[in-house]
Amino acid sequence: MSIKVGMISYWHVHAWDYTKQAQEHGDTEIAAVWDEDPVRGKEAAEQLQVPFYENLNEMLALKDLDGVIVDAPTNLHRDVMIAAAKAGKHIFTEKVIAPTLKEANEIVAEISKQGIKLTVSLPRLNDGYTLAVQEVLNQGLLGKVTYVRVRLSHNGAIAGWLPEHFYNLEQCLGGALIDLGCHPMYLTRLFLGEPVVGVSACFGYVTGKEVEDNAAATLYTESGAIGVVEAGFVNSHSPFAIEVHGTEGTLLYGTPEEKLLLKTNRSGEENPVWTEVPVQYNRESAFHQWVGHIQNGTVADGNIETAIELTRLMEAANASAKERRVVRLDELES
């Protein structure tokens, strides 16, 4: 039985990527489109040869619609997802789940109440290098992790290929950090392996947009371990890079080659050397996981927990950059 999916907006740059995933998945099909921009929505619906709905509630009222893919502006996430949840529709959404912890908790509470399936697109959690790093950490080869740095940057703001609405502060509620920086943020938190208690962030405005195009955030833990998250829209040849340092060793990835390198005192050698760690195959995509949760009646507990924590860290980072101080996570309204 095919799972019929409605598209909630084509605002995000990855909306057509998720459309393609739904088209290529053997158990899903795109059945309807709503968009806050009717012109864009109608064009997408015509291309897909499915109905366009100017009223979101009309689309959500369709009895044979099983779920929705949310690619709406970040500032609309709470309203459209709560509406979808109340209509009993399963939800696959682009990150972040919401701009604030309070809104994220409201969304998750409604989803839990309605018993529907939610999965947030956090794709780098499923990549082979992430799984390989986790395996090394699980083996204790780095000892106590003391420092994590993850960087992801591109040239979208200087090469002109990012859509103009990605610089709209009202819709995005941020720039490079809340968009691209989501990935290094959840990876840094994952590799730290312990709760973050405070965040300090600084934003740069190289191209003069109303959102930041250059950003760094520092994550603090009670144990003294530190995480550094870097993101930008103004770099032409900046490799995706991971560094994980511990009391007994170091892991490096993407500096600049896509190889995972390890040097550890626990290698059994008197003079440790750098060795390449095999990178595993990718885990199935977040979209495929969502479909599996719908079909099997399971819940994406880990994914949702990570998505809530990501929102918490992003809200703290935005507040830190604005107020120019360290923001403790326990300050945030929940």
CA 196 to chain centre: 17
d(CA 198, CA 224): 11
d(CA 282, CA 238): 23
d(CA 70, CA 120): 10
**124-330-202 Cα angle (round to 5):** 60
How many CA atoms lie within 13 Å of 211's alpha carbon, on the beta-carbon side? 23
| pLDDT computed for residue 185 by the predictor | 98
CB 323 within 8 A of CB 331: no
- Residues 129-184 have pLDDT tens digits of 999 999 999 999 999 999 999 999 999 999 999 999 999 999 999 999 999 999 99
- Residues 33-58 have pLDDT tens digits of 999 999 999 999 999 999 999 999 99
Altogether, the residues listed in the chain come to a count of 334
CB 6 within 8 A of CB 34: yes
Confidence check: pLDDT of 265 > 90: yes
- Residues 189-223 have pLDDT tens digits of 999 999 999 999 999 999 999 999 999 999 999 99
Q: In a 3-state reduction of DSSP, which class is residue 207?
A: coil
The mean predicted confidence, pLDDT, of the chain is 97
| pLDDT computed for residue 312 by the predictor | 98
CB 149 within 8 A of CB 207: no
| pLDDT computed for residue 280 by the predictor | 83
